[in-house]
Homo-oligomer: A and B are copies of this chain.
Amino acid sequence: MKVKVAVNGYGTIGKRVADAVTSQPDMTLVGVAKTRPSFEARRAAERGYAMYVAGGGTEADFTAAGLAVAGTVDDLIAAADVVVDCTPDKVGRENGKKYQAAGVRAIFQGGEKSDVAEVSFNALANYDRARDRRTVRVVSCNTTGLARAASVIAPHWGVESWEATIVRRAADPGETDRGPINGIMPTFHLPSHHGPDVQTIVPGLAITTTAVVVPTTLMHVHVNHVRLSRPPTDAAQLLARFRSTPRFHIFAPWEHVDGTPQVMEFARDRPTGRPDMMENVLWEAGTRVEGSDLYFFQAIHQESIVVPENIDAIRAMFGLAPDGPASIAMTDRALGIPHP
C-alpha cells in the first residue's frame, strides 16, 4: 500500500514536493491545497493534481479561472496519511493543530521553530531519528546544507570549531516584491540562528554562524572555515569523500563555473525535469586544507535542496526503507539526482 501524501501550500517548496511525491514508487499524491488560482495552480491542474482550497480562498475564484476544485483543505487532510505542510512561516504551526485533531501525521518546514514537531530531520545526518514519528520538521535550506556537510566532515576528521558566514539570496526568482535592489543587509542577530538549528540535527557540533542578505535570487553561498581535529593530508582526500556521498556536487576548474550564475545554468542544462540543484555544490578550487584548517565554499539552492529531504522524512516516518542510505538512493533515483 502506497502512503497517501497531501501537500498543503503550493508555492516554491510545495510544488516541488508534490512533483517529487508523484515520482516515487512507494507514495501517492492525494492532492494539493492552495489559497488562490495562479499560473502555478494551472500547472497543478495540467499535471492532474487534485486541487483543494485553503486559507481565505474560495472555490468560486478557482472555478472562474477554469480550474476544478476537489474540496477544502479539510477534505484533503481527511484523505491523507501524512500532510507535508509547505505554507508560509508561522502558518504551519497553526495548521499543526488541525492535523493533530484529524489524527494525520505531518511534516513541517524549517520556517517553523523546532518545537513544532517531535524531531528535526536531515536524511544524511539523522534519518533514524524520524522513524515512526507522527510529526517531523525538515530543517531549512541553509541548515540542511550545513547538516549535510557536517555529516561528512565531523565523523571522518572531527570538528574543533566551524565558522560559517551565510551569504543569503534576498528573494526567490519569482518574487518581485522583495529587495534590496542594490546593497548588503547584515543580519543583526549575532551569531545567527543557523548554528543552533544545525545543532538540532548534529548535537554538540561546535558551529558558529553569521549572515548577510545580498541582491540576488539564485542561491545562498556558505563561506566555511573549519578547524579539524584529525585533518586529512590534503583537500583531495576530503573531496573524494564528498564525491562518494550522495547529494554533493563538485565542480572541477576546467568546467569554468565561477559562481552561482553558472551553477544554475548547469542546472538548467540538466536533461530532465525542473532546473534545480538539490545537492550541496562545492568547488575543487574553492576547497582548501592547510594544516588543520579546512576552508570551503558551498552554494545552496534555496528552492529545491529540502525537496528530497521531505521525501526521505516520509519514508522514515512510515518505515518504507530499511535505512537512510536506502531511502536516499530511492529518492535520488526517482528525482534524477546523480548518485555516486
Contact = CB atoms under 8 A, between A and B. Distances in A.
A35 to B, nearest CB: 11
Interface in A186-222: 186, 188, 190-191, 208, 210, 212-219, 221
Contacts of A171: 179-181
A115 interface: no
Given A165-B165, A186-B259, A225-B163, A217 B181 contact: yes
A56 interface: no
Interface size band for A: 35 or more
Given A182-B182, A186-B286, 16 more contacts: A36-B256, A38-B255, A39-B257, A64-B254, A65-B252, A174-B265, A180-B181, A181-B215, A183-B216, A184-B218, A184-B260, A190-B286, A191-B290, A210-B225, A268-B274, A272-B272
B182 A179 contact: no
A295 to B, nearest CB: 4
A217 B61 CA distance: 33
Interface stretch (A40-48, A305-313, A321-329): A40-48
Contacts of A94: none
Contacts of A293: 208
B184 A181 contact: no
Interface of A: 15, 36-40, 42-43, 46-47, 61, 64-65, 163, 165, 167, 169-171, 173-186, 188, 190-191, 208, 210, 212-219, 221, 223, 225, 251-252, 254-262, 264-266, 268-275, 283, 285-288, 290, 293, 295-297, 299
A223 B167 CA distance: 10
Contact of A184 (B179, B182, B266, B299): B299
A297 B258 contact: no
Nearest to A269: B43
Given A188-B285, A274-B269, A261 B183 contact: yes
Nearest to A293: B208
Given A254-B65, A272-B272, A274-B269, A295 B218 contact: no
